[in-house]
Structure formats: structure tokens, C-alpha cells
Structure 1
């Protein structure tokens, strides 16, 4: 039996929380007009892939992105709450630059320093984010042995989780996921692989390990 699963992952398209500088999970933020076009372009990029199902965060911006991906092949979309963005507790929805700076510091600690104990205020720790994201991804691959699926998520939660699962470490720091740019990760039944990481410049960064 072929247990290999291919997952085309992508950050949601541009949304209003990004353009307004609003921090947190922000579940009701919609896509911008530019974001809708980005999602349409992503659908075109994936049109020839044998995708059998689309999985998405429950956030509105991720759901709207997923709907654009589903238009061509008329695929079903399955929302998974565990794919949402990192929660920052009582600071949810703030536009305070100090909180955004603290959020960046916490992400640096998680990704570069591998210190998953850090959190923003009373928000999630890195351990909590990785645990829920791992559970979601394992549920997905268990349901699709030998198949290809798409997963629409968020920049921070995808980065920290895949950084841990694929042992990417500091290699992904400084190259945040761009909006609606699909990249491939693979599950072979035992281990996760992420051979390339999409950079902000539209190029793909090869991951080299010792």
C-alpha cells in the first residue's frame, strides 16, 4: 500500500488584517480584492495537480482562499479548527506596534532558538501550536494514503509547525510565507519532508541539512 501523501500547503491570500496591521488569529478578517485575485492565481497554479480534497483553517480569509481553489475541480472543502493562526490571548486584534514586535520576538524564539515555551501574553506557546497543527496534519494524511491534497493555513502556525516536523530549523527564518503561494510537503508514512521553502521574492529556497 502506498502511504505517501502530497500536501500542497499555502498561506491564505492577502486579507484585511494584514493591510491594517492587526495582530492575532483574527478569525473574521476577509480577503482584500488583491487577495481574491491571488487566490484565483493559486488555483491556476494547482489546476493540473490531482488534488482530491482541500483542507482549510476555519478563519474567514482561509475559507475564502480555499473556495477559490475549489472552483475549477469542484472539490470539497473541509474546515479544521486546529489549522488557525497563533493565538495571542488578551492582545487579540490589537494594532499596537509593541505587541507586533513582541510577536516577532516569540516567533524568532520558536523558529531560530527552538524555545517553544515562549508566548505573547496569555496566548499560545509554541508547544501548543505545534501539537494542534501536528494533530491536524496527521488526521489529513491518515485519510488520504497515496493521494494529493491542499491545505490552506496561516503564516506563523504553518511555519513553526513545519519547521519542527520537517526539521527545517533556522533555515526558514527571514523568508516568511507569501500570500497564496503553494509549496509541497510530503508524508511517506513515517516522516515529513519539505524540500523547498517559498521565499518572499517568489523563488524557492532549497533546504540543506548536515
Structure 2
């Protein structure tokens, strides 16, 4: 059997914190009606891809996305706390322009400049976020040699972790992950590969197939 593992990664569906423009991990934020439809469409796109399990952030919006997908695909959901969104400390839930601008600047420093020492307020720095996301994805891959699983995460933390593993860099920065669009990440037992990165304008126009 091949050691190659496919992780069909995706951001959760549209959620209340996103429509409110609120910063931070916000674990209790729920999906919007549109987000639920997006999750169902993600499951349709993944039908036939052979995913045997869905790993999801413990945030409500990620669990809701995963649960909708799991019912359609007939698979189990495994919650993983390490897949959570970036924590921003005392700025959690802030909607002011200054906090949003700071969050964008910090994320750019991590992904484009490779400066992981920056943080929003007293929240996590890039080293902490990278360590937990890379650790989670590595652990998932180790348990599914030769298989395919789905991973439901968040825009900032998932992009940061995958940038460390695959190096999307500027490509990822110019194309923030759209809601509930699965894309492949591959691990061959030695190295990681991100063969594609979904465009924000291509929501639900891609399949979960490797290299699509």
C-alpha cells in the first residue's frame, strides 16, 4: 500500500462571527443559513472521494460544518482542539477597524514574511499557531497511510500551518480560503505538497480530487 495520504482540507461554512467581522477564535459562533448550505455542497463535492473520516476544529461552526458533511458521507467526525482558529487574547471578538488591520498585518507577517514572532494583542504568535496546526495535520496523516480524510479548520490558522508545510506564501496571501471549498493536501511519508489552492472567487467550482 502507498504511504501517500490525502487530506481534503476546507474552511468551515459561513458563520456569524464572519458576517459580524469579529476577530479571534470565537468557539461558540454558529453557522449562518448560507453556511449550512455551503457545508452540504462541500459534502456533495467530496462524494466519491473516499474520505473515511472527518477531523474538525472543536469550534461550533467547524463542528456544524463537519456534522452536516458527515451525515451526507456516512463517516465519523473526530474533534481536534489544535485545529482551532488563532486566539487573539484581549482582542477576542473585537470588530473595530484597528484590530482588524492589526490582525491582517500579523497574518501577513507570518505567511508572507515568515516572521512568526508577531501576535494580535496578547494572543498567540505564529510559532504557537504553526506548532499546533502542523502537529495536528502530521498526527492525522500518521493514522491514515494510503487513505483519504477531510479536515475542517479556519482561514487564519489553517493557512498558517499549510504555509509552513507546503510554502504557498504569497499565493495563499492573495487568495484567502473561501468557505467550505475542499482542496487537497498530500503527504507521502516524507514531505508535504499542496497541489492547488482555492481561489476566493471559485467557491464550490472545484472538486476534492488531488491536483484539481
Deviations along 1:28-68, one digit per CA (max 9) or x if unpaired, are 00000000000001010001110111000000000000011
- Looking at structure 2, the residues matched to 168 and 152 of structure 1 have their Cα atoms a distance apart, in angstroms, of 19
CA distance in 2, matches of 1:132, 1:199: 25
Aligned to 2:53: 53
Map 1:1-210; keep pairs closer than 5 Å: 1-202=1-202
Give unmatched runs, 5+ long, in structure 2.
207-212
Q: Post-superposition, which runs of at least 4 consecutive aligned residues in structure 1 deviate over 2 A?
A: none
Q: Give the TM-score normalised by the residue count of structure 1.
A: 0.95
* Number of residue pairs aligned between Structure 1 and Structure 2: 204
1:133-159: per-residue Cα shift (whole Å, max 9, x none)?
A: 011011101111100000000000011
Q: Secondary structure at the match of 2:52?
A: strand
The alpha carbon displacement at 1:181 in A equals 0.4
- The residue matched to 1:196 in structure 2 has which SS? coil
1:93 Cα deviation from its structure 2 partner: 1.1
- Further displaced range: 74-83 or 91-100: 91-100
Classify the secondary structure of the residue corresponding to 1:151.
strand
Q: Offset at 1:173?
A: 1.1
Structure 1 residue 77: Cα displacement: 0.3
For 1:31 and 1:121, how far apart are their aligned partners in 2? 26
* Alignment partners' CA distance in 1, 2:33 and 2:27: 18
Query: Using the alignment, how far apart are the partners of 1:95 and 1:160 within structure 2?
Result: 22
1:122 aligns to what SS in structure 2?
coil
- With structure 2 as the length reference, what TM-score do the two structures score? 0.94
- Inter-partner Cα distance in structure 2 for 1:92 and 1:129: 16
- Alpha-carbon distance between aligned partners in 1 of 2:73 and 2:30, rounded to the nearest angstrom: 23
3-state SS of the aligned residue for 2:86?
A: coil
- CA shift, 1:171, in A, is 2.1
Measure, in 1, the Cα distance between the counterparts of 2:49 and 2:69.
11
